[in-house]
Amino acid sequence: MMKGYLMMRFAGAVLTVLLTTMSGSAQTATAPASTSRTATAQPWTKIPIPPLHAFKPEQPKRIELANGLVIFLQEDHELPFINGTILIRGGSRDEPANKIGLVSLYGQTWRTSGTTTVDGDKLDNELENKAANLETSGGTATTSVNWSSLKDDFDTVFTATMDLLLHPNFKADKLLLAKRQIETGIARRNDDASEIANREAIKLVYGATNPYARQPEYATVDAVTLADLKAWHDKTVVPNGMIVAVSGDFNSAAMEAKLRTAFGSMKRGTLISTPDIDFTAPEHAVYFADKNDVDQSNVVIVGLGTKRSNPDYYALSVMNEVFSGGFGSRVVQDVRTKLGLAYDVGGSFGASYDHPGIFYVIAGTKSVSTVAATQAMLAEVEKLKTEPPTPNELRKAKDQVLNSFVFHYDSPEKTLNEQVILAFYGYPPDFLDKYKTGIEKVTSADVARVANKYVDPSKLAIVVVGNEAQITPKLDTLGKVTDLDITIPPPPGHPTK
């Protein structure tokens, strides 16, 4: 039975409009640290919890070739499939400012064009007839090639994968097709209020021209040529900038031999270098964009987050759980459960691998409660500094992280992905073990210390997208309001509307 929902993909962004189901995510939580409450029998506390079955996931086999290429192999014989990924250093953060969209266009055009011997359209038929996939895509820090097939089709599909990697044939008609996709995304980017709010918030926290925040425009997409795609390919596809990860129903020794043959002859090259990027926290201010066809305001409060390599990452992770980690968190408890001001509410003190993540608090609330909801969200941020977690909150937060820890590695694929990501960003392979130990040691004082060190309400931008005519009290109750200009710059050569 097929599912009846619409998936709309514009320019790499996936918008899922659930037409048949309404999920009740963020279903609320948090027991206030009540001491007066004498809970009743609590029969669940008497239910025995036996020790968890011993489980040590098999780690992938790591192989490094003489040319610098790193391979990870993860056998998994449950199903007769083999899946692979080639991760290639260099992504949209490295593309020139006047050609934003280049890496996305590259990711689309690479596969749809095909190779010097097999046309992309023909490849579509050959692969889909086998229920196999071979896709390329462009990301922020990497581009990638992914393939998947029944194991009996591995040799054919892997041959096509290598052909695509080594002999791409970028074509003008496919570049044009990709450009039209991105242009559709640009034309539609102001239709959805939450999309506007998120985009503008990221621009405010990182800076509008920051490589992690900037947006493709008609002009920057228009500027990308076939030569740019070829040059990008030649520059980035070097073995010392690549990680190959294969999982599935194979024998590692046999697979290693195949991969050594396939990749061993590639010549080392110069690695793409990501320039140092400056990150400055935003100023505390209120930013607004009007959208007169909505009856709900999207509120996003943002500041700079941190990196995972920060020694305070563990304490910040526990702080996150207390603050916004699901049903039991302060933000959900207050804004949704206690005040009933929002359905979709959440937040996180974000941590990325090699650049600061984003600290955000987000909620959608009816127009008239915009100010009240924003104030409630800000109050929770403030409370992080003034009210350290109670012993009960700390225990719940740590229990939540530690008792669900097995879900970091409950499938061979997750174990593999973890090692690939750690290797890519130069983290130690035992990062997850260290994380667990680190969380176990966090105290309430640690959380209080990091909250005071990293959470600064004077460096948080407040972004509101909503229906100005309906918002009462007015937004300036929160402070000086700056109107955001979200006008879409017209394509080159077109007059302004």
Partner 1 sequence: MRVRGVTAAMLLLGIALCCAAKAQDLASFEKRTTVKVLPNGLTLIICERPEAPVFSFFTLVDAGSADDPQGDSGLAHMFEHMAFKGSTEIGTTNYPAEKVALAKVEAAYAAYDAEFRKRVGQDPAKLERLRKIFNDAQAVAEKYVIPNQFSEIAEQNGAVGINASTGEDSTQYFWSMPSNRLQLWAYLESQRIGHPVEREFYKERDVVQEERRMRIDSSPTGRMVEQLLATAYVAHPYGRSGVGWESEISQVTATEAEAFHKKYYVPSNIVIAVVGDVKAATAMPILERYFAPIPAGPKPEPMTTIEPPQFAEKSVVIREATQPFYIEGYHRPDYRDPDDAVYDAITDIFSNGRTARLYRSLVRDQRIAAEAEGFSGFPGEKYPGLFAVYAVPLPGHSPEEMRTAIHKELDRLKNEDVTDEELARFKTRARADLLRGLADNEGLAHQLAEYQTRYGDWRELFRQLDRINAVTKADVRRVANKIFIASNRTSAQIDFTPPQQKSPEPSKLPTPRTPTPAQTGGAK
Q: Which of residues 309-338 bind partner 1 (CB under 8 A)?
A: 326-328, 332-333, 336-338
Could you tell me whether strands 285-290 and 461-466 are parallel, antiparallel, or unpaired per DSSP bridges? parallel
Instruction: Choose the stretch contacting partner 1; rule: CB under 8 A; options: 85-93, 160-168, 178-186, 200-208.
Output: 178-186
18 binds partner 1, rule: CB under 8 A:
yes
What sections of 218-369 are H helices per DSSP? Answer: 218-222, 226-236, 252-263, 313-324, 330-331
Give 468's DSSP letter. G
Q: Which helix (H) or strand (E) holds 288?
A: strand 285-290
Footprint of partner 1 on 126-145 (CB under 8 A): 128-131
Decide: 413 and 74 in contact? Cβ < 8 Å: yes
Among 119, 222, 249, 354, binds partner 1 (CB under 8 A): 249
Of residues 79 through 108, those in contact with partner 1 by CB under 8 A are 79-81
Instruction: Name the one range near partner 1 by CB under 8 A: 208-216, 230-238, 447-455, 464-472.
Output: 464-472
**Contacts to partner 1 from residues 473-492, by CB under 8 A:** 474
Q: Is 125 exposed, middle or buried (0-12, 13-18, 19+ CB in 10 A)?
A: exposed
Residue 406 engages partner 1 in binding (rule: CB under 8 A): yes
Q: What angle do CA 184, 189, 193 make, to 5 degrees?
A: 150
CB of 198 to partner 1, least distance (A): 14
- For residues 228 and 139, what is the distance between their CA atoms, to the nearest angstrom? 17
Measured from the CB atom, is 108 or 143 closer to partner 1? 108
CA gap 164, 137 in Å, rounded: 13
Out of 82, 157, 165, 193, point to the residue binding partner 1 (CB under 8 A).
193
Of 437 and 472, CB closest to partner 1: 472
Residue 156 binds partner 1, judged by CB under 8 A: no
> Residue 288: which of 187, 224, 388, 201 has the closest Cα?
201
Whole-number Å distance between alpha carbons of 449 and 435:
19
Rounded Cα distance, 37 and 42, in Å: 13
- The residues that bridge with 463 in the sheet, in sequence order, are 287, 300
- Our finding on whether 33 is near partner 1 (CB under 8 A) is no
> By CB under 8 A, which span of 101-109, 288-296, 423-431, 438-446 interacts with partner 1?
288-296
Of 139-147, 206-214, 359-367, 449-457, which segment contacts partner 1 by CB under 8 A? Answer: 359-367
Quote the least distance from Cβ 275 to partner 1, whole Å: 33
d(CA 56, CA 46): 29
- The region of 5-13, 307-315, 424-432, 454-462 touching partner 1 under the rule CB under 8 A is 5-13
**Given the rule CB under 8 A, which of 64-72, 157-165, 400-408, 442-450 is the region that contacts partner 1?**
400-408
CB of 207 to partner 1, least distance (A): 27
Note whether 16 binds partner 1 by CB under 8 A: no
Alpha-carbon gap, residue 453 to 102, rounded angstroms: 38
Should residue 462 be labelled a site residue for partner 1 when binding is judged by CB under 8 A?
A: no
